[in-house]
Amino acid sequence: MEFKSQKVAYPYFALALLLFVLQVLMGLWLAINYFVTLPQGLVDVFPFATARAMHTNLLVLWILLGFMGGTYYILPDETKSELYSTKLAYLLFVIFAVTGVVALVGFLFGWTQGKPLLEIPVPLDIVVVIGVLLFLFNVGMTMITAKRWTAIQGSLLGGLVFLAVMYLFGIPFYRNLSIDWYYWWWVIHLWVEGAWELIAAAIFAWVLIKITGVDRAVVEKWLYVEIGLFLFTGIAGTGHHYYWIGAPRYWLWVGGIFSALEPLPILLMVIDTMRHVKDRKLEIRRPMVWTYAVGGAFFHLLGAGLWGFAHTLPQINYYTHGSQVTVSHGHLAFFGAYAMLNLMVFYFAMPNLVGREDHSDCRGKFGFWTMVSSMFCLGLCFGIAGILQAYLERVLGFGYMAAQEQMRLWFMIAFFCGLGFLVGLLVTVYDLFFPKPIQEVQAKKVVAQAVA
């Protein structure tokens, strides 16, 4: 770690990991809701809706904390200068943490805007907006004073500004439900298939340069193509959410065509990653960063690219829209595209931040494979449940609960996949905070050899 101000990232990463664990715990509770009959008294005070609001908001909060921490960690290295203000960065951490806690506790008491994923009420929205503006100010001033512009900085700053602007569309009360959903997707879709992809691509490119030693010029050139394709397919691809909301029929064409192309930039990213890995000029010193970089690229393609493609055509979406198929896609995509990217950054930064650069990867590998396989099975469970739902409810015309009865078994299996995921996550979190020194491993080997 060359720059002192990179340390700011630590509390962001630490809180993000804690919230990730909470998110998974809340997810397990949601799974229980799906297959167990809970007493009415419990449902009255802690309904599914509240738990879901917490589950999804924890996701958004920890991913964004990861992005912010990641930005603070990358920026000094990328601009070759300290952050504009570390004090502001710490202050903002406190603001975001407090806002998050207030929002989560507020949900328990029914303090909500009542819009899925954007439940936090308007007063807290205003705090978030001010916080994000100050964050952008800090990031922008660091870049401006350093005056060492790169494509990575551009993509990062562009993505962050884009993210902040889109958030505004979720704040007002819309009288017309169709318009409400129209702009709700400006936040959700243009985040995950626009702004977040820009941030992720920038962070990913930076890590690739760092670990492979491949020429910046080559990486940045492909970064332009990737984000160009992400935005080309992603912006008009928003149309795949407008098929059935009371919008004109041409969205079926626009959404269908553009979103069918959405896997392309992700595929390019995978090919690109593999090529850089092949052409690497540095030896592999941080195996977990590599594992998450390559694993993340593939899981991104699987969860966001293929799973999204599978039900994006209007002819299919007519039957799968609003079913558990969406849940399957949501889990695989968020994990593959953003959770794994953040974990890659954590594995890059945390050993430096806790002062143990060389560390054993055995726990990390265990965590990685446990999480990846559990999440894959979880996606399959939701996917099977979703196909059952689409066929029974939408094709055969079963009543909602009659179809749910047939899906019940798969929710139970999903719960156990979630438990597996939790185990992998806990090992990973422990490993990130307390990396195992490599000497210990070697010492054990020496002892083992001596004994033999």
Between residue 305 and residue 334, which ones bind another protein under the rule CB under 8 A? Answer: 318-319, 321-324, 326-327
Nearer residue to another protein within complex by CB, 58 or 345:
58
Distance of CA 7 to CAs 25, 66, 112, 389, Å?
29, 14, 35, 48
CA proximity to 403, closest of 395, 413, 393:
393
Nearer residue to another protein within complex by CB, 116 or 123:
116
Q: Which residue has the tokens 């890995």?
A: 277
Q: Which pairs from 121-127 meet CB under 8 Å and 24+ separation?
A: 122/171, 124/99, 125/167, 125/170, 125/171, 127/95, 127/99
Binding residue for another protein (CB under 8 A) from 126, 168, 224, 446? 224
Phi-psi region of 120 (alpha: psi -120 to 50; beta: other; left: phi over 0): beta
Shortest gap between Cβ of 386 and another protein (angstroms)? 9
Nearer residue to another protein within complex by CB, 40 or 449:
40
Nearer residue to another protein within complex by CB, 226 or 431:
226
Residue 225 as a binder of another protein (CB under 8 A): the answer is yes
Maximum Cα interatomic distance, the chain, rounded to a whole number of Å: 77
Contact letters (x/-) for another protein, 180-219, by CB under 8 A? Answer: xxx-x--------------------------------x--
CA proximity to 429, closest of 421, 417, 438, 441:
421
Find the binding residues for another protein in span 255-274 (CB under 8 A): 258
Shortest gap between Cβ of 183 and another protein (angstroms)? 10
Phi, psi of 352 (to 5 degrees): -70, -40
Residue 249 as a binder of another protein (CB under 8 A): the answer is yes
Find the binding residues for another protein in span 148-187 (CB under 8 A): 173, 175-182, 184
Enumerate residues 6+ apart whose C-beta is below 8 A from 444.
none
Token pair listed for 371 = 């999480």
Alpha carbons 167 and 122: distance in angstroms, whole number = 12
Nearer residue to another protein within complex by CB, 181 or 346:
181
Find the binding residues for another protein in span 91-120 (CB under 8 A): 110, 112-116, 119
Contact letters (x/-) for another protein, 358-397, by CB under 8 A? Answer: -----------------------------------xxx-x
Total site size for another protein, rule CB under 8 A: 78
Q: Write the single-letter amino acid at 60.
A: V
Determine the length of the chain: 452
Binding residue for another protein (CB under 8 A) from 238, 273, 291, 428? 238
Token pair listed for 7 = 């340390």
